[in-house]
Amino acid sequence: MKIGFQIERLDPARGGAETYVHRFAQTLLAAGHEVHLLAEDFVSAPPGAVTHIVLRRGLTRSERDWRFARACGRAARRADLDVVVAVGRTFGANVLQPHGGTLGGSRRQNLAMIRSAAFRGLKRAFDWLNPRLRTQRWIETRQYAAFPPPEVVAISCMVQRDMQQFHHVPDERLHLVHNGVDLERFSPAVCEARRAEARRTWGLADDETCFLIVAHNFRLKGVRELVEAAARLDRIRPWRIVVIGKARPGPYLAQAEHLGCANRFLFPGAMRDVTAAYAASDIYVQPTWYDPCSLVVLEALACGRPVITTRFNGAGELMEDGREGLLLDSPAEIDRLTEAMRHLLDADRRAAMGRAARQTAEQHSLQRNFREMMAVFERALARKEALKG
């Protein structure tokens, strides 16, 4: 089968959709399929994949988005692919698998982050008038309304509900396929082998409990709320919070300094291989405002790390509150977040939840994701062939 993926750029170190597409392409190639990658920029592409450079031309950002979407459609037609998968806002796909969820769901959660009702109103008005957001809405609407209609993959129940609410996708074309995780690369055994060295790198004492978060958008992933919770956590007990990501740490360090807990935070920057981060950590905490289905949460679970996250994270659907970790209804529940962190300072609780975390991750392997996605691809190809006939 000739399978193409449309994505803005491909850098597996950035996480999210880019990591997923890179790994999935490798799996497809190993299974004997022909893989085409259509993107503006390739930092890294799997050996054997056919790459198509799709330039983003235009004077404004909204014009570039529109022209890129159209150019991706033209490139897919020229390549004569059996299946074209859009993981972002592009045209010409017969499978939609938006890893960013829906624009409506994303903007709803961005508004929820704003604590002032007045500022929320201003933000809502700005979003409605913003030319780039209007273009993105138009592209997304056309994707779902395309003819022939595409098969649509929701990577979580949360995203599935949004697709039904904002785009009225019928049940027969809507498929729920959660993300999968590499159970060999991310495992308790791998973490144990690297733990001592990883903790030395960050200067963590043997008795220090390490909370970890991996994120590129600190605000969206709840770092502000994490600092507020840390300020309320017991100061006598030894613990540290490590924040991995490319965002600027300055505002959050200033917030932590103001609240008297800056010495408890480490911001090492971005990491190309986060396995060492999981190895050094004891708990993964991501009080996110919006994550369609967080890959890093699945990786942490696979490493046997208990997870604290919110119900705004599609990966949280795979957890049971109190079994693999703890679930918050909202990042705004600072007291609840603090209590969850305090609860997991207990090593015995962490150990029990960590074992359950690994068991849950084993039910969501890359192989399972591959099988479920291939079933969608075969359905899309059959629909395409039927229309030709």
Q: pLDDT tens digits for 243-277?
A: 999 889 999 999 999 999 999 999 999 888 899 99
Q: Do 174 and 201 fall into the same domain?
A: no
Average pLDDT over residues 73-93: 94
CATH code of the domain covering residue 374: 3.40.50.2000
Least confident span in 30-34, 107-111, 161-165: 107-111
Q: Is residue 12's pLDDT more than 80? A: no
Q: Is residue 126's pLDDT more than 90? A: no
Q: Which of 320, 277, 267, 312 is nearest to 294 (CA)?
A: 312
Which residue range(s) make up the domain with 315?
188-361
Q: Do 267 and 197 fall into the same domain?
A: yes
Q: Do 96 and 145 fall into the same domain?
A: yes
Q: Is residue 58's pLDDT more than 70? A: yes
Q: Do 265 and 126 fall into the same domain?
A: no
Pairing of β 307-310 and β 325-328:
parallel
Report the b/e string of 143-173 with b at 16+ CB within 10 A.
bbebeeebbbbbbbebbbebbbebbebeeeb
**For residue 180, what pLDDT is reported?**
94
**For residue 371, what pLDDT is reported?**
96
Q: Do 248 and 192 fall into the same domain?
A: yes
Q: Is residue 59's pLDDT more than 90? A: no
Q: Is residue 16's pLDDT more than 90? A: no
Q: Do 315 and 170 fall into the same domain?
A: no
Average pLDDT over residues 351-365: 97
Q: Do 287 and 380 fall into the same domain?
A: no
Q: Do 238 and 285 fall into the same domain?
A: yes
358, 302 contact by CB (below 8 A) = yes
Band (pLDDT 50/70/90 cuts) for residue 389 is low
Q: Do 233 and 354 fall into the same domain?
A: yes
Q: Do 139 and 35 fall into the same domain?
A: yes
Band (pLDDT 50/70/90 cuts) for residue 118 is confident
| pLDDT tens track for 193-213 | 999 999 999 999 999 999 999
Start-end of H helices in 90-156: 103-112, 117-129, 131-144
| DSSP state, residue 171 | G
Instruction: Select the more confidently predicted residue: 15 or 250.
Output: 250
Report the b/e string of 345-362 with b at 16+ CB within 10 A.
beeeebeebbebbbebbe
Q: Do 175 and 246 fall into the same domain?
A: no
Tell me the pTM: 0.93
Q: Do 250 and 370 fall into the same domain?
A: no
Q: How many CB atoms are located within 10 Å of the residue 192 CB?
A: 12
Start-end of H helices in 219-264: 223-232, 250-259
Task: Copy the structure tokens of residue 219.
Answer: 């605000």
Sign of torsion, CA 28 183 318 15? negative
The domain total for the chain is 2
Task: Copy the structure tokens of residue 144.
Answer: 């779902």
Q: Is residue 241's pLDDT more than 70? A: yes
| pLDDT tens track for 308-350 | 999 999 999 999 999 999 999 999 999 999 999 999 999 999 9
155, 97 contact by CB (below 8 A) = yes
**For residue 358, what pLDDT is reported?**
98
